[in-house]
Amino acid sequence: MSLIQIDHVCKQYMMGGETIRALDDVSLVIEQGEFVAIMGPSGSGKSTLMNIIGCLDVSDTGSYVLDGKAINQMKDWQLAEIRNRKIGFVFQNFNLLPRLSAYENVELPLIYRGMTRKEREPLVLKALEAVDLVERRKHLPSELSGGQQQRVAIARTLAGDPAIILADEPTGALDSKTGIEIMDIFARLNDQGRTIILITHDHAIAQQAKRVVRFRDGRLLEGV
């Protein structure tokens, strides 16, 4: 069974009487343990697909099965539960809380899950270790470089042990050298068995993934 199975998915938006086909009959299979880049120009539908894969939105037609569960039929609360348990999001602008240290930022989702301090600590340290940031755990985001902040964000995601890491332009706010370093971290996590899906418009970044899926005008071009 594939981790992600998307079949003939369509998503339209109405804008001032005009219909925009953001996703136009998209089918895509992603296996457990893959490292995939979804690449396309602005407006090609990447974010729309990302939102569907991340259970933030559902398609108009077609089907999406994630880890054996049919997502299309789910209610909002069920989608929220799947998101919390299975998906780790990484965003372009890091989304760290500025008044919390690196450690506390990574810890926060585990507090929301109701874990005790004792349960949280090894998970937080392990996640920070995975991105080589244990030493900087007491720093505030403002005391860290952009690349380090993104690594904290990746650690925050890892601590929750998600089935999939979904990264939306994770290198978009970084210079190209730092961007490649972030991709090296994803590659390392992938070597450890993590499934990673990232969306990007940057060809050089996409090439760092093991598989590139190209997108244009709401359609997949190759690599399916």
Ligand X SMILES: Nc1ncnc2c1ncn2[C@@H]1O[C@H](COP(=O)(O)OP(=O)(O)OP(=O)(O)O)[C@@H](O)[C@H]1O
Which residues are near ligand X by CB under 6 A? 13, 15, 20, 22, 40, 42-48, 201
- The whole-angstrom separation of Cα 180 and Cα 63 is 34
Buried b (16+ CB within 10 A) or exposed e, 35-58: bbbbbbeeebbbbbbbbbbbbeeb
Q: Cα separation of 221 and 110, whole Å?
A: 39
Our CB check for ligand X shows the closer of 57 and 67 to be 57
| Other Cβ atoms within 10 Å of 112 Cβ, number | 10
**Which residue, 94 or 103, is less far from ligand X as judged by CB?**
94
From the CB of 215, what's the least distance to ligand X, in Å?
7
Pick 20 or 29: Cβ nearer ligand X? 20
Cα dist from 173 to 45, 82, 152, 168, 213, whole Å? 20, 28, 15, 11, 22
Q: Output the smallest distance, CB 168 to ligand X, in A.
A: 8
Shortest approach of ligand X to residue 40 CB, angstroms? 5
Q: How far is the CB of 201 from ligand X (least distance, A)?
A: 5
State which residue, 13 or 112, has the beta carbon closest to ligand X. Answer: 13
Instruction: Give the Cα separation of 132 and 111 in Å (integer).
Output: 22
Residues whose CB is less than 8 angstroms from the CB of residue 44 and which lie 6 or more positions away in sequence, other chains included? 215, 216, 217, 218
Closest CB 169 distance from ligand X, rounded Å? 7
> Between 87 and 123, whose beta carbon lies closer to ligand X?
87
Contact yes or no for 187/176 (Cβ under 8 A): no
